[in-house]
Amino acid sequence: MEQKKNMYFSSRWGFILSAVGSAVGMANVWGFPAKMGANGGGAFLLAYLFFIILFSVVGLSAEYAIGRRSRTGTLGSYKKAWESRNSKLAKAGGLVGWLPLAGSMCIAIGYAVIIAYVLKAFFQSVTGELMTVDTGAWFDGFSTTEFSVVPFHIIVVVVTLLTLLLGAKSIEKSNKIMMPVFFIIFLVLAVRVALLPGAVEGYKFMFTFDWSKLKDPMTWIWAMGQAFFSLSVTGSGMIVYGAYLDDKEDVVHVAIRTAVFDTIAALVAALVIIPACFAYGLDVGAGPSLLFVTLPRILQDIPAGRLFAVILYTAMVFAGVSSLQNMFEAVGESLQNRFPKFKRGYVLIFLAVVCLGIGLSMEPIFDWGPWMDIVSIYIIPIGATLGAISWFWIMKKEDLLEEINKGTAKPHGELWYNAGRYLYVFCALILCFVALFMKVAF
């Protein structure tokens, strides 16, 4: 894709908000609290923060740098990274890039279905219908029925792709609205939940550290998996945002800021969900049903619950769309770069047809589940591992460090590189091994 100055993000904060929007998805809102609830509360939080620091400083900054160096997304970045080692490896690198790119598209197809469910919940919160139903029966009614959310599904896909028409410019503008609103809404909800009787037990659970839990390897593995996917270091999505980043920016500092806001979003979501579940004696590890069964049940029971339901699902729609933007942009930009004769508009129409064509056949959540399990167990972990190995074992060390050190006051050297080559790649391999051989869907 032709790179012009107006395709870059216009400001550091515009870039950070867009990157945070990509990272802050619905998995943050239900995944982080659920995994925290199932893995020791405060102990999980400590392990999670360790991996967030490592993955942001090394993994996320590397993906930003790779994209900026190549000035394109997944396919071109892998090709250039492998080519730096040996020009004969360029074709192989380009082929390798197709797997993580496929991961972005596959996850986008399933993700759009879930956002359609959220949009339906938003609409029925506005009408008041959600406040009077049996939430379990309500959710079962449309999650097991084919073509039950078709209008919402179409709206989600079309609106998201429209925000990509101008590339980085429109992505940045939309996230400058969506992300501040998301944070404000969840802070409002956190304050409201704090007033519930029994909420304090949720806070105790979150911030009481059971050190024995840190002896359990699965606490660390679940924390590692959540950190990987929370930051979207999957060998694809964040590369394309790096392609739109100015050379004067310090990618390590930008990555750290992205991680800080992503972690704040996860914690604020947990401060809403975990205390609320404790207040009502509900299962905090319920996963996706938290959004469609547990939280609506709580909202039905509190004063002004309808208003808070509208607020909650507004935030969730924004979180979902901002993540979906990144998935579509990663695929769209790579296709446009690979086939330059196709204009952006035609590529986006193609993505809409593919996403809706496959996604409409998966609208019952029981059809969507196996699809997403395949993506999260096989494609995404392998893609993340291929990315980590490509940057730190195949790409020429001097080329990576040259890009990382653009815009830095104090250059990064052996410590940063070795942390990536040994710690980060090792974590990616562990993640891949656990996913593939233990069939764990992170």
CATH number at residue 278: 1.10.4160
Residue 250 and residue 237: Cα distance in Å, rounded?
A: 19
What is the pLDDT, as a whole number, of residue 3?
Answer: 44
Output 340 or 420, whichever has higher pLDDT: 420
What is the pLDDT, as a whole number, of residue 113?
Answer: 86
For the stretch 226-248, pLDDT in tens is 898 888 898 888 999 999 999 99
Question: pLDDT exceeding 70 applies to what percent of the chain?
Answer: 94
pTM greater than 0.85: yes
Asked whether the predicted pLDDT for residue 130 surpasses 80, the reply is yes
Residues sharing a CB contact under 8 Å with residue 46, sequence separation 6 or more, in sequence order? 209, 214
What is the pLDDT, as a whole number, of residue 60?
Answer: 96
Span 383-396, average pLDDT: 95
Asked whether the predicted pLDDT for residue 365 surpasses 70, the reply is no
- Number of domains present in the structure of the chain: 1
Asked whether the predicted pLDDT for residue 2 surpasses 80, the reply is no
Output 387 or 373, whichever has higher pLDDT: 387
What is the pLDDT, as a whole number, of residue 1?
Answer: 39
What is the pLDDT, as a whole number, of residue 325?
Answer: 92
What is the pLDDT, as a whole number, of residue 40?
Answer: 75
User: Residue 319's closest CA among 9, 15, 14, 20?
Assistant: 20
What is the pLDDT, as a whole number, of residue 63?
Answer: 96
Output 169 or 253, whichever has higher pLDDT: 253
What is the pLDDT, as a whole number, of residue 156?
Answer: 94
Tokens in use for 440? 């764990």
| Residue 231, φ and ψ in degrees, nearest 5 | -85, -5
Span 347-366, average pLDDT: 81
**3-state SS string for the chain:** CCCCHHHCCCCHHHHHHHHHHHHCCHHHHHHHHHHHHHCCEHHHHHHHHHHHHHHHHHHHHHHHHHHHHHCCCHHHHHHHHHHHHCHHHHHHHHHHCHHHHHHHHHHHHHHHHHHHHHHHHHHHHHHCHHHCCCHHHHHHHHHCCCCCCHHHHHHHHHHHHHCCCCCHHHHHHHHHHHHHHHHHHHHHHHHHHHCCCCHHHHHHHHHCECHHHHHCHHHHHHHHHHHHHHCCCCCCHHHHHHCCCCCCCCHHHHHHHHHHHHHHHHHHHHHHHHHHHHHHCCCCCCCCHHHHHHHHHHHHHCCCHHHHHHHHHHHHHHHHHHHHHHHHHHHHHHHHHHCCCCCHHHHHHHHHHHHHHHHHHHCCHHHHHHHHHHHHHHHHHHHHHHHHHHHHHHCCHHHHHHHHCCCCCCCCCHHHHHHHHHHHHHHHHHHHHHHHHHCCCC
Q: Give the other-Cβ count within 10 Å of 255's Cβ.
A: 27
Local confidence band at 159 (pLDDT 50, 70, 90 cut-offs): very high
Residue 352 and residue 350: Cα distance in Å, rounded?
A: 5
Which of 157-161, 288-292, 372-376 has the highest average model confidence (pLDDT)?
Answer: 157-161
Asked whether the predicted pLDDT for residue 372 surpasses 90, the reply is no
| Residue 409, φ and ψ in degrees, nearest 5 | -80, -35
Output 182 or 148, whichever has higher pLDDT: 182
For the stretch 254-264, pLDDT in tens is 999 999 999 99
Name the average pLDDT for the chain: 87
Span 323-333, average pLDDT: 92
Asked whether the predicted pLDDT for residue 38 surpasses 80, the reply is no
Distance of CA 289 to the CA centre of its chain: 19
The count of residues in the chain is: 442
Local confidence band at 363 (pLDDT 50, 70, 90 cut-offs): low
Q: Please, which contacts does 216-220 make with residues 24 or more away whose CB atoms are closer than 8 Å? A: 216/39, 216/40, 218/39, 219/39, 219/40, 219/43, 219/44, 219/47, 220/47
Which one-letter amino acid corresponds to residue 311?
Answer: I
Residue 190 and residue 396: Cα distance in Å, rounded?
A: 47
Q: Give the other-Cβ count within 10 Å of 339's Cβ.
A: 10
Residues sharing a CB contact under 8 Å with residue 249, sequence separation 6 or more, in sequence order? 12, 15, 406, 407
Give me the half-sphere count of Cα atoms (radius 13 Å) on the Cβ side of residue 266.
28
User: Residue 412's closest CA among 68, 64, 420?
Assistant: 420
Asked whether the predicted pLDDT for residue 377 surpasses 90, the reply is no
Span 132-145, average pLDDT: 82
What is the pLDDT, as a whole number, of residue 288?
Answer: 67
Domain that holds residue 413: 5-438
What is the pLDDT, as a whole number, of residue 324?
Answer: 92
Residue 82 and residue 266: Cα distance in Å, rounded?
A: 35
Question: pLDDT exceeding 90 applies to what percent of the chain?
Answer: 43
Which of 56-65, 162-171, 323-332 is predicted with the least confidence, judged by mean pLDDT? Answer: 162-171
